[in-house]
Amino acid sequence: MTTKKTYLEQTTFAFLDIETTGGNSSHDRITEIGIRFWRGGESVGEWQTLLNPSTRISPFIEQLTGISNDMVSGAPPFEAIADVLEDKLRDTVFVAHNARFDYGFIKSEFRRLGRLFSARVLCTVKLSRRLYPEFRKHNMDALIERHGLEQVQRPSIPSHLPLDTLKDLPRGPGVYRFYGENDVLLYVGKSTNIAQRVASHFSGDHNTSRGVRISESLRRVEYTETAGDL
């Protein structure tokens, strides 16, 4: 008899994240796929590749994802890695944050090749809402903050900022401030991990018009460390 505990110990969960040229899977394409495999509570492997989308990446998307046209110019197209990807995801649970987006893009890429793709899917947004209904926010930033997770997504630092902008930021609690030209205060935030939270502002999760405007206007970051959570 297979118990829930046995099922979890024997099942491989494929935590997948993609970057794309836009938000519509019917005509936008994937530019990067990253997967980390977990089984029995332990990491059992990872796989990552850039992809040539066979279309230009707009400057807006380049800044949003940190993936440029130059980076993907020599990368393989999806059809070149389709067999490998399908093999790696076979018999796994497809896990993603807002899985409808990632799963939809993967299915669309296979569909362009005249192939069907299906998998058991687990959406961590839906899972968080079910497990923690008392919380209002269930986006990636909220989960990272709530569970003390480490962000590994590539931060895309605006081109007008020094590349070492994030280097000296503390990984402890405090308040951070974004300033624009002429010392105009653009944004004030707080976090239990300043470096992690500031980096998240330059990730693909911050694709709102307000977030993009702040990123474009940002000229420097200042912070004040605190003894504990605010």
Tens digit of each residue's pLDDT (9 = 90 or more) over 58-83: 887 887 777 889 889 999 999 999 99
The answer on pLDDT for 153 being more than 60 is no
What tokens were used for 75? 């990368």
* Confidence at residue 170, expressed as pLDDT on a 0 to 100 scale: 83
* Confidence at residue 125, expressed as pLDDT on a 0 to 100 scale: 93
Which of the residue ranges 77-86, 174-183, 219-228 has the most confident prediction, judged by mean pLDDT?
Answer: 77-86
* Confidence at residue 135, expressed as pLDDT on a 0 to 100 scale: 93
Q: Where in the chain is the domain with CATH 3.40.1440.10?
A: 153-225
* Confidence at residue 4, expressed as pLDDT on a 0 to 100 scale: 67
* Confidence at residue 203, expressed as pLDDT on a 0 to 100 scale: 59
What tokens were used for 46? 């990872």
**Residue whose token pair is 């986006």:** 139
Alpha carbons 148 and 155: distance in angstroms, whole number: 18
* Structure confidence at residue 145 as a pLDDT band (50, 70, 90): confident
* Confidence at residue 149, expressed as pLDDT on a 0 to 100 scale: 80
The answer on pLDDT for 207 being more than 70 is no
Instruction: Assess contact for 94 and 117: CB atoms under 8 A.
Output: no
What tokens were used for 187? 């944004």
Instruction: Assess contact for 170 and 192: CB atoms under 8 A.
Output: no
* Confidence at residue 229, expressed as pLDDT on a 0 to 100 scale: 62
**How much is the average pLDDT of 16-24?**
91
The answer on pLDDT for 183 being more than 90 is no
pLDDT tens string 91-103: 999 999 999 999 9
* Confidence at residue 77, expressed as pLDDT on a 0 to 100 scale: 97
* Confidence at residue 197, expressed as pLDDT on a 0 to 100 scale: 79
Q: What's the half-sphere exposure (Cβ side, CA atoms, 13 Å) at 222?
A: 10
Q: What share of the chain in percent tops pLDDT 70?
A: 84
pLDDT tens string 188-206: 888 888 877 787 776 554 4
pTM more than 0.85: no
Taking the chain, what is the end-to-end CA distance rounded to the nearest angstrom?
A: 49
4-to-10, 43, 92, 206 alpha-carbon distances in Å: 10, 20, 16, 36
Alpha carbons 32 and 154: distance in angstroms, whole number: 11
Alpha carbons 80 and 113: distance in angstroms, whole number: 11
Superfamily of structural domain 4-128: Ribonuclease H-like superfamily/Ribonuclease H (3.30.420.10)
The CATH number for 153-225, chosen from 3.30.2270.10, 3.40.640.10, 1.10.10.10, 3.40.1440.10, is: 3.40.1440.10
State the chain's mean pLDDT as an integer: 85
* Structure confidence at residue 55 as a pLDDT band (50, 70, 90): very high
Q: Where in the chain is the domain with CATH 3.30.420.10?
A: 4-128
Of residues 118, 125, 122, the one with CA closest to residue 91:
118
